[in-house]
Structure 1
Amino acid sequence: MMNVLQEQLEVKNFIGGVFHNESSEFLSVISPLDGKEIGKVPMSDGKILDKAVNAAKKAFVSWSAKTIKERVQVFFRYRSLLEAHIEELSDLVRLEGGKTYQEAKAEVEKAIELCEFAVSLPQIVQHEIQEVSRGVECRVEKKPLGVVASISPFNFPSMVPHWTIPNAIVLGNTMIVKPSEKVPLSLMRVAELLKEAGLPDGVFNVVNGGKEIVEEICDHPAIEAVSFVGSTTVAKIVYQRATNSLKRCLALGGAKNHLIVLPDADVEMTASNVVASMSGCAGQRCMAASVMVGVDQVDHIINKMVAVARDIIPGDGVGAVISEEAKKRIETYITNAEKNGAKILLDGRNTIVKGKEKGFYVGPTIIDYVTPDMEIAKEEIFGPVISIIRTNDLQEAIKVENTSNYGNAAAVFTQSGALAKEVMEQASAGMIGVNIGVPVPREPFPFGGWNESKFGVGDITGRSSIEFWTKNKKTTTKWHKQAQVNWMS
């Protein structure tokens, strides 16, 4: 068991049920909380990936032969282990990702919920059988693909891997996960707990690394499918490279989520929800509020937002951003917006947390009078920053939302069902909220955006994920002598 309190944590690959450390090149793992090095992560190469793929191929033979009811037993036990170790797992997420403890714990709780959906799959994944003519039966069965891979981002080191791990493995696949080199610690503990839960060696493997190993995963001929979560720029590259290698690929990219606020919106609920959406997880989530589109007279709501956000204490109510580079990038966006005529209502630049002076903190930031042509209105900031664009009417606000290249989420705050319906029908996003700042669907409903927020068919969680991780086997049988001789004979 890893001790999350020790000074340095040794990061290793997990292949065939054993931890390995064969790399010659390592990168430092830095905690965003205080800027201290907490470990070193190996930069794996193609030879190490080959070992993981071979282990997964070997394990696939027996794992895929088990019934789905047998396979879910591992995840019943694993779910209990996640619950038993929730404090330790939350500490790991906080240490490597910079979240507050409450946010880290909520992330692990979401991982538990994702496991709960996976163990329900025997009740959901059922074969289709029909007697299509007298004595002739057609049958469709869901079969696993083989060795699959998942490439995870830095912002949710526990939750996002669990978008794919439980479903893909319960459905009979064997798996290789490549965590972000910035947050490799949580997946090591996941590997230990899965093994403790009884998962056979080789079914789950962890290969650490950077760009090189991502390219190797996309190119490897024995990997049947790849999921990716990260920036849109990289998502496009991964999708193109993986599909060019004749793999299935589902690549989730960035976002620029618009929250449309109407004058009749409930002031307290709207202010608290919008601020929580833009500042939660330090804004480092693809569902964070990035642009508030204020319709007509909404100053009373904006004033309340500023008051709510001002009470959030960095280091307590809002965590750190992932790196010093991220902090500088976010603050540059704020500075450029100010230079271009926007008004800073609440400034989170140059934030320092006492006792953690070398940590990477940006305080909640609210910027008014942003225009749609500004870079801060168009590009993903990935920080606790919200830009306010003002419009005269709802259709103008919807037009602002529609012009975004992204399409993860959009929300409307109003007490009018008719106006809410206009946004629900016209917003160009895959996930819509009404009086909800973070409209993430809960299981069994799937997660996934539109436009340049997603590349590939289907969604990464819920029922929709079943199609991605399986292939259909169709069988037609005829046993009865009396069956008519026809074109099906």
Structure 2
Amino acid sequence: MKYSQVQNYVNGKFVNSSSSSERKLEIISPLDGTLLSTVPLSCSKDLDEAVQSAKAAFPAWSKTPIKERVQVFFRYKYLLEKHLDELAALCSEENGKTLGESVAEIEKCIELTEFATSLPQLVTGEVLEVSKGVECRTEHVPLGVVASIVPFNFPSMVPNWTIPNAIALGNCMIIKPSEKVPLSVGKLALLLKEAGLPDGVFNVVHGDVEIVNAICDHPGIEAVSFVGSTKVAKIVYQRATHNYKRCLALGGAKNHLMVLPDAKPDMTAQNVAASMSGCAGQRCMAASAMVAVGQVDHIIDKICEEAKKIVAGKNLGAVINKDSKDRIERYITEAEQQGAKILVDGRRTVVNGKEKGTYVGPTVIDYVTPDMAIAKEEVFGPVISIMRTNTVDEALAIENANPYGNAASVFTQNGGMARYIIDRASAGMIGVNVGVPVPREPFSFGGWNESKFGVGDITGKSSIEFWTKLKKSTTKWNPEAGVNWMS
């Protein structure tokens, strides 16, 4: 075992789970099958200890002026930069993505933290003299103890969607990492402590569904954010809100790239191939469906050429585990059996010297029909399914019929047509000649439909409303005005 057993992090210290001797999972690197560590599957008692720690820390932290709170994140940003290589290597080991992709993930953490340092300028509130001697004022007030449940596909970035903003805004946090990738969050905890974050403000509890349910049920937790599959996002949203908590739950996606005949062939092919294969397709912004509008065979040929340049173990990482590999390959085989044509086949991929790794090669499938499972469901692998239409309206009908609404893109050189699609595509994030239309800070990340449950977005300015509540005060200092309807 390369690393020592994973521990929970409570009140500024790493501690054993009360169930650590009984329930634990092995952490296997998808890159080569190496045993990295074991992670405890904690129980509700462990969560309660973390919540009590956070509750004890909340009064002092919430009363600390925000300009002082963000000083922690100026230092945290510096530490992320200082330890970038170490964090990226750990991310690659436990998740399976390439080192370059892992570096980009930590760079995004730095950008997210940089945004958090600007929060004092964004939460100044408002004040207005509404009548002579009478003022109305608003202030953003922290909620209390909040929780964040994060997925395996971005071990550092998704935690940093919530950690800097929620904590800088005055909350104390419990985070539940994916049990598949628990190592990176432990390193983030150490960096936050080194940056000067007071003990108890940030806590980590490892576990599986038992801890997720306990978070949704715990009366000491005011708000829950979740990122994962739509199936689980619905359950978390329903359970948390049933217990009168705020909840923002991000689910899955089926992102459509619409390619028009006037699209730039080289640029389009490079973007489509990168979008479907980046992070081995294990991201909610991956292109998994392409709608070919009219005659675009010349572009499809180039997409296949680009896909063949993507080599597992070199510029393509592993999928998270064997179950995922098997599931992805079943989707491909089923589509082939139903009449789709495999143009580039990534099944049965093995990397020399890493035979125990779990790899799926880039896969391009043509003549997929909208009724096929691979066209409707989230595959979460380096696979793109091509559906063919004659018109843009037919392409939009396919995009809008899918239940998800995370992202959609169009590749065209016609500005009017791009605007037409932007106005009509039912997705929260739209790209024009961009394969992965993730907004940069301060713009927020969030989809529509069954890709998101709850109000607001998880990053950027929109997140302020989720992590705070508004306090409104009205003051009157003119007794000579007498009594009126406002008194």
Class of the TM-score when normalised by the shorter of the 2 chains: over 0.9
Matches for 1:195-274 after TM superposition, within 5 Å? 195-274=193-272
1:58 — aligned with what? Answer: 56
Aligned length, in residue pairs: 484
1:165 — aligned with what? Answer: 163
Letter in 2 for 1:403: A
Unaligned 5+ residue runs, structure 2? none
1:291 to 289, 292, 298: 289
Runs (4+) off by over 3 Å = none
1:394 aligns with 2:392: yes
Letter in 2 for 1:11: V
Unaligned 5+ residue runs, structure 1? 1-5
| Alpha-carbon separation, structure 2, partners of 1:421 and 1:193 | 44
Matches for 1:10-409 after TM superposition, within 5 Å? 10-22=5-17, 23-24=20-21, 25-409=23-407
Give the TM-score normalised by the residue count of structure 2: 0.99
Q: What's the C-alpha RMSD, in Å, of the aligned pairs?
A: 0.7
Query: Displacement, 1:7?
Result: 1.7
Query: Displacement, 1:485?
Result: 2.0
| Alpha-carbon separation, structure 2, partners of 1:326 and 1:9 | 26
1:8 aligns with 2:3: yes
1:448 — aligned with what? Answer: 446
Give the TM-score normalised by the residue count of structure 1: 0.98
| Alpha-carbon separation, structure 1, partners of 2:415 and 2:475 | 53
Query: Displacement, 1:69?
Result: 0.2
Q: Tell me the SS of whatever aligns to 2:397.
A: helix
Query: Displacement, 1:483?
Result: 3.1
Instruction: After superposing the two structures, state which structure 1 stretch, 325-334 or 31-40, moved more.
Output: 31-40
Q: What per-residue deviation string (whole Å, max 9, x for no partner) do you get for residues 50-98 of structure 1?
A: 0000000000010001010010000000100000000000011000000
1:486 aligns with 2:484: yes
CA contact (8 A) 1:258 1:411 kept: yes
Query: Displacement, 1:488?
Result: 1.6
Letter in 2 for 1:163: W
1:3 — aligned with what? Answer: none
Query: Displacement, 1:484?
Result: 4.0
1:473 to 452, 462, 471: 471
Q: Tell me the SS of whatever aligns to 1:242.
A: helix
Query: Displacement, 1:283?
Result: 0.1
Query: Displacement, 1:443?
Result: 0.3
Q: What per-residue deviation string (whole Å, max 9, x for no partner) do you get for residues 15-63 of structure 1?
A: 0001001323111111100122210001100100000000000000100
Letter in 1 for 2:238: Q
CA contact (8 A) 1:284 1:321 kept: yes
What is the percentage of aligned positions where both structures have the same residue? 69
| Alpha-carbon separation, structure 2, partners of 1:242 and 1:90 | 33
Q: Tell me the SS of whatever aligns to 1:292.
A: strand
CA contact (8 A) 1:135 1:482 kept: no
1:429 to 424, 427, 430: 427
| Alpha-carbon separation, structure 1, partners of 2:37 and 2:482 | 70
| Alpha-carbon separation, structure 2, partners of 1:348 and 1:409 | 25
CA contact (8 A) 1:273 1:436 kept: yes
Q: What per-residue deviation string (whole Å, max 9, x for no partner) do you get for residues 109-162 of structure 1?
A: 000000000000001111211111111111110000000000000000000000
Query: Displacement, 1:447?
Result: 0.3
| Alpha-carbon separation, structure 2, partners of 1:433 and 1:312 | 23
| Alpha-carbon separation, structure 2, partners of 1:13 and 1:161 | 16
Letter in 1 for 2:307: A
Q: Tell me the SS of whatever aligns to 1:227.
A: strand
CA contact (8 A) 1:134 1:484 kept: no
